[in-house]
Amino acid sequence: MKTVTIIGSGNVAYHLYKAFSLAENILIQQVVARNKSALETFVSPDKLCTNFEEVVDSDFIIIAVSDNAVEKIAGLLKNFKGIIVHTSGATSLGVLNKHENHGVFYPLQTFSKSREVVFQDIPICIEANTKHNHLELNELACTISGNVQRVNSSQRRQLHMAAVFANNFSNHLFYLGGKICAENQLSFSILKPLIKETVDKLEVLSPYEAQTGPAKRNDQNTLEAHLSILESDLHKDIYTLLSQSLQETYGKKL
């Protein structure tokens, strides 16, 4: 049996709490955050802690707070023997190096509290300060995921940025597509089969092979027609730059 302390009350803390609660041979000892009402929505009362002076040592102390608070929170944990990890894609391993045992436990996923996720497929990117701690973290990650990968700090920073392109920005494009629909008395649901196929295609084709559309085929008439009906200058600029990037990718000139 391994023990875990989770620090944080946000989306990642919530989903890790859910996942480790169901994992075999894992005991969550505490979930710690200053925001009691946020903790109360998901943590059982006996594990809830709002006082950082009362944080207990565990085999693993998982700091799942916003990136800019990681170092400060870690600084509150004096003389802990457990492996102290953060869950941030954008933060290096080094911010924890005042601690004897430390590492990174970065689940590569988009988390919202209102949406349950299945951890089994989620890549958990781990990094540790010693080989022994790496093995320990690997074992911990394997209790909730079948997709554990060793990723160093430099790779993880790049991977986090890749995830911003692949998830944050693509979701925003779905939003912009839906906005255009709504402004024209069409339901967002009309785009859903297209969006679903966009992703389903990636089971058999690379994004390079799956690409279709006017920019790829260098259809200037359609590109100009779209730019003429887009109302927002910002959206025009986004349309132009993404079309330009597509044309570069497929060796076409604007």
Query: Judged by CB under 8 A, does residue 38 bind its own copies?
Result: no
Which residue lies nearer to its own copies by CB, 79 or 212?
212
How far apart are CB 194 and its own copies at their closest, in Å?
5
Taking CB under 8 A as the binding criterion, the range among 44-52, 69-77, 97-105, 194-202 that sits at the site for its own copies is 194-202
Query: Judged by CB under 8 A, does residue 185 bind its own copies?
Result: yes
Sheet holding 124-128, edge to edge: 48-49, 26-32, 2-7, 60-63, 83-86, 102-107, 124-128, 148-150
Query: Judged by CB under 8 A, does residue 114 bind its own copies?
Result: yes
Q: Which of residues 123-142 bind its own copies (CB under 8 A)?
A: 123, 125
The identity of residue 52, as a single letter, is F
Enter the tokens of residue 64: 């799942």
Among 110, 130, 132, 142, binds its own copies (CB under 8 A): 110
How far apart are CB 38 and its own copies at their closest, in Å?
15
How far apart are CB 126 and its own copies at their closest, in Å?
13
How far apart are CB 16 and its own copies at their closest, in Å?
15
Q: Which of residues 222-251 bind its own copies (CB under 8 A)?
A: 222, 225-226, 229-230, 234-235, 237-239, 241-242, 244-246, 248-249
Among 100, 174, 218, 252, binds its own copies (CB under 8 A): 174
Asked if 196 and 189 count as a contact pair (C-beta separation under 8 A), the reply is no
Among 34, 72, 132, 196, binds its own copies (CB under 8 A): 196
How far apart are CB 222 and its own copies at their closest, in Å?
5
Give dist(CA 119, CA 230) in Å, integer.
40
Q: Which residues contact 213 (CB under 8 A, 6 or more apart)?
A: 246
Which residue lies nearer to its own copies by CB, 44 or 169?
169
Q: Which of residues 54-83 bind its own copies (CB under 8 A)?
A: 66-68
How far apart are CB 237 and its own copies at their closest, in Å?
5
Q: Which residues contact 36 (CB under 8 A, 6 or more apart)?
A: 48, 50
Work out the angle at residue 34's Cα, subtended by the Cα atoms of residues 8 and 168, and round it to the nearest 5 degrees.
Answer: 40
Q: Which of residues 201-220 bind its own copies (CB under 8 A)?
A: 201-202, 204-217, 219
How big is the site for its own copies, counted in residues (CB under 8 A)? 96
